[in-house]
Structure 1
Amino acid sequence: MPTSRTSQDDPERKPPEVPPLVEGEPIEIEFTEAIAESIDDDAIEVTEFLEDDSVVMERVEVVGQIEAISTSAKPTPPVPAPPVPPPPPKQLVLIGAGHAHLQLLTWWRRRPIPGVELTLVTAFDRAAYSSMLPSTLAGMYQPDQMLIDLPKLCARCGVKLIVDRANRLDPVTRVIEFAHQPALSFDVAAINIGSVPAAEPLWQAHRILISVKPLTSFLERFSVRFRELVEQWRMAPGPELLQIVVVGAGASGVELALCLEQHKHELELPADVRIVDGSVALLAGYSPRTVRRVSKLLSLRGIDLHLGSPVIDCDDEGPSSLVLETGERIRADLVIWAAGASPPMALRGFELPKSERGFLKARRTLQTTANVPVFISGDTADIEGALVPKAGVYAVRQAPVLWKNLRRHFAGKRLHDYKPQRRFLSLLSCGDGTAILDYMGFTSHSGWAWMLKNWIDRKWMKRFRVK
């Protein structure tokens, strides 16, 4: 059996010399070749050369130099490309702080649309809750209890706020122009600026005519004129009573008249309150039982009704008066205009299809009938194939559909249809701690009806309060 040779068999044998390494020249590794020649095929013993420390060091230096050169010979890895920046966020703009849009703000806070920025455009930095306005006139609420602080609400919900009047919307260039601020581009817009009482040119032209819209500034405008009347009467009281007229015999007009009548008693102001409307019907759309109950209450409270002849003019000369279509004149020292619902003049600058009445035409999906990404809700919309009354309760019910369809539009999904409710609960404040309830033919005039209304209204406002 062959045996391995060791260094003792050949005392003259020396370790091979390691040639110096020169950068750029090929390397000849004689050390490895020497080992291969000095061993048998059946056994490899390299340890015989490692007994000398100098040999070990020389071998380590060779290996180190080889590794260094081989490493330097590797190609430099490519520099990774800088990350691609995300695309700019799409712009969703809400024009108006109506009932539907206010709800969208709170839902946005909980679940914003990815890759989208939300902006609210409104002419006022406060939004008024219409349901609480009559009771506020009667002193049952403080004015700030019916107002929503939009800067605080938008800051909490992560929404940009622009306080300015939108004068023009171009659906082709997708640009909104304002009265004072620079124009704003949008990807998707939604409009919810409500309606105004009928005969806007008339009530805009006469100082004694105070429109209930815009709601946010109504209390201030009313208070200025009301204080003037009170001061005039106290300085020179006359035999005649002051005449306060509410134009409009719908739910809003009835509530305002009842609450004003209560307010005059608290001020001990000698004044008469009456309701004037061109319609022959009181509370059109309400059940006959409710209409009879309201008529009886108005009579008991001394509120006269003058129906069937619309107001066509106002005479400011001498004792001011309203001029009716029949030619009759009704003396009026203060007039609150709450008749009907007409499109705001601002809609004239919105280049979108309009109905015969001047409101913006919308499909059942609440999208404009034009092929552009603009949605319409509340009183601003006339929906094709649906007769939706101009009432806040319908705007509240449209909000969930609007929210879903905005999300589905950005996701490229099919939009859902809005289906108007066939009936709704109505609660009319009487200003004295009672209310009139109307629902599906059932009616009640009671304190518990007021408690229910108060609970509903406070619960609604609580959603938008920011401490």
Structure 2
Amino acid sequence: MKTVILAGGGHSHLHCLLERSKEKTADRWILISPSRHQYYSGMFSGFVEGIYSEEEIRVDLEVLCRKAQCDFVEASVLSVDPIQKQLLTDTGDLYSYDAASFDIGSRNEDPDIPGLSGVNLKIKPNHHFPSQVERLYRSRNTVFIGGGAAACELALSLRAWKEKNGDPGDSITVVHSSPLLHGTGVLASRSMASLLARRGISTVRGKAEQLQEGTIVTDRGRHIPFDEVMFLGGAAAQGLFVSSLIPTDEKGFMLTNAHLQSISFPDLFAVGDCGTLENFPELPKNGVTAVRQGPVLWDNLNRFLTGRKLHAFQPRSRYLSILSTGNGHGFLLYGSFAVQGRWTRKLKERLDRSFMEKYTFHEK
């Protein structure tokens, strides 16, 4: 009997567990995750706004593992020995594998900004997020660093919550070095800028250079006071792969081939935020990519164990994304196409709830 280890409970691994619950194999599968619950980041904005409860935005990995006849281990992987094919966890346990896959996400940090690490509200690993939201609610001056979808969406959701439950006069600011929603086109960027302005959210163009005594200093000389700050300016790699001498890209993400395998160790796989495809280094590290990698990963893990030819993952050039913008409205993006409205929010809620229902099992 061969052993497959899944490190992390991300989107792709959730798919593997769901498929195994339908189609059992004789192999032993183990899921190692630092938390029993995996939170769905696509519903974070709705949680901040108060639309969803904590129970509604998380998957119980232990229950899902029992359904899939997969051992569940609540721990974090500290190191990998790719020669001996062993993983070491923070509980001091060693696990041997025939194949191991990593879906451990990334970090929302930037070590190049002095003073950030001590005050940054960290939402990754994502099981930390709910405990940080109460601090956002209490904050009179909140700053989100980053101009991408996550920063814009959370700023708008926080504004909606404060208008209903807190002080609508509280300051919310988005600091961004690139155009808002960079990469989606001029129309989407301008539309988002206009929306943020209408909702009373300040936008400051510039790069955060340092944080000191409750103030963010930008490269353009702006000084922005804050009570709470959250960095959402891009994914930072976990240190696991570099310390384990597994080949990575220049940022520390595991470098993989088209089959989602390490370029040097074919029994290691990486998906979601923690991996970089060698032939598609600019592929967005987001939930959409991870969801699409799930079926390929499941198929390739089983094919690898039985010596069959693996399938290649084919990225898409465009994908659908819907941001929750508060008060029943949404912001839909598809390539350079952008549209706002209530119907987009309803579509997002339907898609998000449908996604979660697949992984929700109630024990008898």
TM-score (norm 2): 0.94
Which residue in 2 is equivalent to 1:256?
A: 154
Are positions 1:110 and 2:37 aligned together? no
* Cα distance change, pair 293–205 in 1 and its aligned pair in 2 (3 A): closer
Give the ranges of 4+ consecutive aligned residues of structure 1 lying more than 4 Å apart after TM superposition: 200-204
1:149 aligns with 2:60: yes
Distance 1:260 1:430 in 2: 10
Structure 1 gap segments, 5+ residues each: 1-88, 231-241
Give the aligned length.
359
Shift of 1:197: 2.0
* Runs (5+) with no aligned partner, structure 2: none
Q: Is structure 2 residue 201 aligned with structure 1 residue 290?
A: no
1:213 aligns with 2:129: no
What does 1:15-54 correspond to in 2, within 5 Å?
A: none
**For residues 378 and 183 of structure 1, what CA distance do their matches in structure 2 show?**
24
**1:338 CA drift (Å):** 1.2
**Mapped partners of 2:75, 2:335: distance in 1:** 41
Q: State, as a whole percentage, how many aligned pairs show the same letter.
A: 29
Q: C-alpha deviations, 1:140-162, integer Å up to 9, x for none?
A: 11121101111111111111011
User: What letter matches 1:288 in structure 2?
Assistant: V
- For residues 45-124 of structure 1, what are the structure 2 equivalents within 5 Å? 89-114=1-26, 116-124=27-35
**Alignment counterpart, residue 100 of structure 2, candidates 189, 203, 216:** 189
2:284 aligned to 371, 382, 389, which one?
Answer: 389
1:375 is matched with 269
- Aligned partner of 1:246: which letter? F
Change (3 A) 1:278 1:442: closer
Secondary structure in structure 1 of the residue aligned to 2:151? helix
- Note if contact 2:62-2:72 (Cα within 8 Å) is conserved in structure 1: yes
The one-letter code sitting in structure 1 at the alignment partner of 2:96 is: S
For 1:197-346, what aligned pairs fall within 5 Å after superposition? Answer: 197-200=108-111, 205-207=117-119, 209-223=120-134, 225-226=135-136, 229=138, 242-269=140-167, 270-279=169-178, 281-307=179-205, 309-316=206-213, 320-346=214-240
Contact 1:167 1:349 in 2 (8 A): no
Q: Aligned AA for 1:409? A: F
Q: Is the 8 A contact 2:188 2:338 kept in 1?
A: yes
CA offsets 1:51-83 (integer angstroms, 9 cap, x no match)? xxxxxxxxxxxxxxxxxxxxxxxxxxxxxxxxx
Q: 1:152 to 1:371 in 2, by over 3 A?
A: closer
Amino acid at match of 1:171: P
Quick check: which has more Rg, 1 or 2?
1
Which amino acid in 2 is paired with 1:123?
Answer: P
DSSP 3-state at the match of 1:354: coil
Q: 1:391 to 1:122 in 2, by over 3 A?
A: same
Other-structure match for 1:33: none
Distance of 2:99 and 2:240 partners within structure 1:
19
Q: Which has the higher contact order (CA 8 A, sep 6+)?
A: 2
Name the CA distance, whole Å, in 1 between partners of 2:221 and 2:238. 28
Secondary structure of residue in 2 paired with 1:259: helix
Is 1:366 aligned to 2:260, yes or no? yes
- List per-residue Cα deviations over 1:314-340 (Å, max 9, x = no partner): 213xxx111223443210111122111
Structure 2 CA distance, aligned partners of 1:332 and 1:461?
A: 35
Alignment correspondent of 1:355: 249
CA distance 1:371–1:142, shift in 2 (3 Å) = closer
Q: Which amino acid aligns with 1:156?
A: K
Task: Give the letter aligned to residue 277 of structure 1.
Answer: H
The equivalent of 2:314 in structure 1 is 419
Which of 323, 328, 332 does residue 433 from structure 1 map onto?
328
* CA positional deviation for 1:112: 2.6
Structure in which a larger fraction of residues adopt strand: 2
Task: Name the aligned partner's letter for residue 271 of structure 1.
Answer: D
SS at match of 2:195: helix
CA distance in 1: counterparts of 2:192 and 2:318, whole angstroms? 19
C-alpha contact (below 8 Å) 2:105/2:274 kept by paired residues: yes
**Counterpart-to-counterpart distance in 1, 2:265 and 2:108:** 30
Does residue 460 (structure 1) correspond to residue 355 (structure 2)? The answer is yes
Question: What is the one-letter code of the residue matched to 1:313?
Answer: Q
Q: Matches of 2:240 and 2:177 in 1, distance apart? A: 26
Residue 60 of structure 1 is matched in structure 2 by none
Contact 2:108/2:231 (CA < 8 Å) preserved in 1?
Answer: yes
Supply the AA of the counterpart residue of 2:195. L
Displacement, 1:203?
A: 7.1
SS in 2 for 1:196: coil
CA distance in 2, matches of 1:198, 1:206: 11
Distance in 1 (CA, whole Å) between partners of 2:165 and 2:240 is 38
In structure 2, distance between residues paired with 1:336 and 1:163: 27
SS, match of residue 395 in structure 1: helix
Structure 2 SS opposite 1:211: coil
- 1:79-104 Cα offsets, whole Å, 9 max, x none, are xxxxxxxxxx2110001111101111
CA root-mean-square deviation? 1.7
Separation of aligned partners in 2, 1:272 and 1:342: 27
| Cα deviation digits, residues 279-298 of structure 1 (max 9, x gap) | 2x110121332222212111
- 1:210 partner SS: coil
- Work out the CA distance in 1 between the residues paired with 2:89 and 2:67: 25
